[in-house]
Structure 1
Amino acid sequence: MNYSTLKKTFVFSLVALLALVEVSNAQTATNSTAKVFGGRGQYRTWNFGINAGILTPHVVVGGINDYNKSNFNLGYGLTLRKQLGHSFGLELAGVRGKLSGENDATVAPLTAGSYASFETDLAVAASLSAVVNVATIDFLQRENAINFIAKIGYGTSRYAPKAPFNWKDKAGEYDGTGTNKYVKEQFIPVGAGVKFKVSERVNFDLAYVMNYVDGDNVDGTYAKGTSKDKFSYTSAGLEFSLGSVAKPNLDWVNPVALMYDELKDPTLRNEVEALKGRVSVLEAADLLKDSDGDGVADKLDKCPNTPAGVKVDGSGCPLDVDADGVPDSKDACPTVKGTAALNGCPEMSGVAGSAIAIQFEFNSSVLRTSAYATLDKLSADLKANSSSTVQLDGHASAEGTDEYNMSLSTDRANSVKTYLVNSGIAANRIAVTGFGESRPVASNATEAGRSQNRRVEFKQQ
């Protein structure tokens, strides 16, 4: 390294040292109004950097070298980074400088075809890399001041190697004197670094990037056949955050602390208190009042005087499951669509007198022995006509409650069904319906009439 290069390196190192001192004395960041899920628009996300450092024609990991001694030369570059999240960004970088190396005869004697030294003018090495924040030293602190980063990308380079003897670039021209003075090659940059927060606007960066070139002519020597050349760039630099000073830099956002601050935000507390006040006002205005106790507020209740205990729908009106216009609380057949005249039960089908009735004792669902002959004939008819079915309608007299009589009428119909099934009739050919006391055939004012109403009617179809 010559004196000029050494002087430039010293000056830059002095700048780096001053930056580190400023890091140690940096004040805490100003308070931010950024929200956890407010998006990137609330942050500064663009960063511009300048750097300088050492270029060498070797890397610490991978490959072999055509020269056994690498020289250190000054390199310098620029970066432009777009931070997409607090831990990820995309960086456009450009580096230029000089690469040189020697074959030291004291290390290994020169062989045929090898050169004593080389020098390459690196016109530019431009790359686009993904930059990931992999760790922070002070991750438990509210505000980060040191970030470790890793990067990998893809780039293209322009360089002109020089050697004591003629060499050819990829266009086959000697000594770089033709129209293709600079060799063009792609390369893969892989690097790591550390960022120090100097202020809200400035970072001090240290980085080491290994560049793997897709060619064997960076040093002007095709010496190893299938080997590829490489070079590294060790740099220090300053990075400046661009954008409104009123916005924080996304590089240094701590999402956990930001979420905590948002939850403790006095503005949010004030909003909650205001909401409580509005709820109190609504309650005071009786908007939640429910006079009939059916669970629907008076302001929304379309049937505000529903009797106690009656089940209602969302509008506060009595339920009508079968939609026959008779509320379930008054519907003798709540699951079968009927008419209001029959208390919600359907009209009897068939011709009058087509139904045959089997009588039952008071408060009983046990078949009389006198019914066996009728049921045996019905069973025989059903067996003779395998496509026919039978409808069993159970009824009761008016003694007892509506609910009890509905259950008793269903039990009576099921008693008939059980007899027929035991006689060999498939259960799926027998339909059962209980009508309770809703369909009397005689007056319930007399015992004679009530006796006629305790029955099961069956119709063969």
Structure 2
Amino acid sequence: MKLNLLWALALPLLSWAQQSPISDGSNIEAYSSRSGKVTKFDNASRLFKDWSVSVGGGGTFMHAADVNSFYDGKVNFGWNAYASLDKQITHTFGMSFQYQMGKTNQKALLPGAAGVAAGVATAWTKYRQISILGDINLSNLLRRVDNNSTYRWALHGYGGVGLQGYDTLLLDNDMSRYSISPRRIPVQIEQELRFDTFFFQLGTGLKYNLSKLIDVEARAMYIISGDDSFDGGGFGKNGIPRYNAIVHGHSDNLFSVNLGLSFKLGNHDTHLTWVDPLRDINNRINILTNQKTDLVVCENGDLDDDGVCDDWDRQLDTPRGARVDGAGIALDMDLDGVADLYDKCVTVPGPVENDGCPTNVNK
């Protein structure tokens, strides 16, 4: 009994493995013949643009750091600029190779005994980064299936990883602490861009489809450096000065707010990031609905316009609007001689004189 049950479960899988068009590639032609014309997907068959180049820039601020851009109710503004090569893989997901550079300006207070300030320092960080960035089109991903409208705004989410190099300089307002031997003030760090200088970033952006060539985007990104010296506070918590010991965290982070442009490359009118497949499907359904479904060309005509050519029509005078069978004869479900079009009791036989209903039935 168990063996028979296993065979019953295995046979459909074995049959699928033999006939599946993707099992070994040998049944592709057979699959194509069953499902209709299949066109190989290549560059010539693309319908949308999928490459773009983006540039932009804006403000940058050191955050969650010992020496940060927010001090005494004030904001120390920095700047950044970026350029990226973007590849849209699907209508909801894309990848970017990005280069970014910028400079942050920050300030810190080193507490002394009993709350007396032991020192105030200013610092800056110049950085350069290369990264791989993933892009999720949240508007397309979360779009309702019954929303058939076009749209020009899209919310995007970003996340990625990269490498960075940076230069920092820390200056103490009390120049009496100036000393480079031993190193105290100023403190300068030069970190080369290497394979062990990883950073992580995530953020969001709002894009506007300005034209078939250009998108405009407002973007906010948060960068996690993983480096406790990124803010210019010094080399370590045991170093001199102790500006790097103000915050207990070991990662100095920054965030940026940018405005950018994306230049869409290619000859097509639409970029893949603005394509809604559901809307395309709905358009195709509407076209098929509005088209005449009878695609057969009748050489000798179709006199009663019932969809069956006169050469094969066994009832050339079928009433207009009546459903017919394959031979062009009006359907009569209860076989009482009254076509369903005129039969007021379609499922119950009755005389013609009573419109196809039994004589004891009130119509």
1:87 aligned onto 2:92: yes
| Aligned match for 2:221, one of 202, 205, 209 | 209
> Looking at CA atoms only, which structure, 1 or 2, has the larger radius of gyration?
1
Contact 2:57 2:79 in 1 (8 A): yes
Q: Counterparts of 1:144 and 1:109 in 2: how far apart (Å)?
A: 58
C-alpha spacing 1:253/1:233, structure 2 compared with 1 (3 Å): same
Distance 1:115 1:95 in 2: 30
Given candidates 118, 137, 147, the residue that maps to 2:123 is 118
Whose strand proportion is higher, 1 or 2?
2
| Counterpart residue identity of residue 160, structure 1 | D
Pairwise CA distance, 1:152: 0.9
The one-character-per-residue Cα deviations of 1:182-208 (angstroms, maximum 9, x if unpaired) are: 686211111011001111111110010
Query: Which position in structure 2 is the counterpart of 1:230?
Result: 253
Aligned partners of 1:182 and 1:115: how far apart in 2?
Answer: 30
SS where residue 259 of structure 2 aligns? strand
Tell me, what secondary structure is at the counterpart of 1:49? strand
Which is further off, 182-191 or 41-50? 182-191
Checking the alignment, whether the CA contact within 8 Å between 1:98 and 1:121 is kept in structure 2 is yes
- Residue 128 of structure 1 is aligned with which of 121, 125, 132? 132
What secondary structure sits across from 2:151 in the alignment? coil
Who is 2:264 aligned against? 241
- Structure 1 residue 103, shift from structure 2 partner: 1.7
**How has the CA–CA distance of structure 1 residues 276 and 264 changed in structure 2, closer, same or farther, with 3 Å as cutoff?**
farther
The question of 1:161 aligning with 2:165 is answered: no
2:210 to 198, 220, 242: 198
The two structures have a TM-score, normalised by structure 2, of 0.55
Note the residue ranges of structure 1 that are not aligned, 5 or more in a row: 1-36, 168-173, 287-461
Distance of 1:148 and 1:251 partners within structure 2: 11
- 1:154 shift after superposition: 0.8
Distance 1:65 1:82, change over 3 A: same
Segments of 5+ residues of structure 2 without an aligned counterpart are 1-39, 172-177, 181-186, 237-243, 313-363
The reply to whether residue 96 of structure 1 matches residue 101 of structure 2 is yes
**Deviation readout 1:103-160 (Å, 9 max, x if unpaired):** 2589x8544xx761111111x2222121111137997452111001111111111111
Q: Secondary structure at the match of 1:103?
A: strand
Task: Tell me if structure 2 keeps the 8 A contact 1:138–1:144.
Answer: no
Q: Secondary structure of the equivalent of 2:250?
A: coil
What's the CA shift for 1:274? Answer: 2.6
Q: Secondary structure at the match of 2:284?
A: helix
Mapping for residues 47-66 of structure 1, pairs under 5 Å: 47-58=52-63, 63=64, 65-66=66-67
The answer to whether the 8 A contact 1:144-1:254 is kept is no
Kindly report which structure 2 residues correspond to 1:55-454, keeping only aligned pairs within 5 A, or say none. 55-58=60-63, 63=64, 65-67=66-68, 69=71, 71-103=76-108, 110-111=117-118, 116-122=121-127, 124-135=128-139, 140=147, 142-164=149-171, 175-176=188-189, 185-221=197-233, 222=236, 223-224=244-245, 226-244=249-267, 246-265=268-287, 269=291, 272-275=293-296
Instruction: Give the 3-state SS of the residue equivalent to 2:283 in structure 1.
Output: helix
Q: Deviations over 1:248-276 (max 9, x none)?
A: 11111122221111123379937x54347
CA distance in 2, matches of 1:231, 1:52: 15
Q: What's the secondary structure of 2:46's corresponding residue?
A: helix
User: How does the TM-score come out when normalised to structure 1?
Assistant: 0.44
Matched, 1:44 2:49: yes
Equivalent residue of 1:193, what SS? Answer: strand
- Note if contact 1:209-1:234 (Cα within 8 Å) is conserved in structure 2: yes
Q: 1:269 to 1:130 in 2, by over 3 A?
A: same
Distance 2:227 2:110 in 1: 26
Once residues 74 and 116 of structure 1 are traced to their aligned partners in structure 2, the CA distance between those partners, rounded to angstroms, is: 20
Q: Which residue of 1 aligns with 2:360?
A: none
SS at match of 1:258: helix
Give 1:86 deviation, angstroms: 1.5
Contact 1:127–1:189 (8 Å) recurs in 2:
no
Q: 1:88 Cα shift?
A: 1.3
* Residues 57 and 100, structure 1, Cα contact 8 Å, conserved in 2: yes
Question: In 1, distance between residues paired with 2:204 and 2:66?
Answer: 22
Q: Per-residue deviation at 1:98? A: 0.6
| Alpha-carbon spacing, 1:64–1:219, altered in 2? closer, same or farther (3 Å) | closer
Contact 1:195–1:205 (8 Å) recurs in 2: yes
- Find the aligned partners of 1:38 and 1:45 in 2 and give their Cα distance: 14
Which structure would you say has the larger RCO, counting Cα contacts within 8 Å and 6 or more residues apart? Answer: 2
CA contact (8 A) 2:65 2:231 kept: no
Separation in structure 1 between the aligned mates of residue 148 and residue 291 of structure 2, nearest angstrom: 25
Q: What's the offset of the Cα at 1:243?
A: 0.5
- SS of 1:135's partner is helix
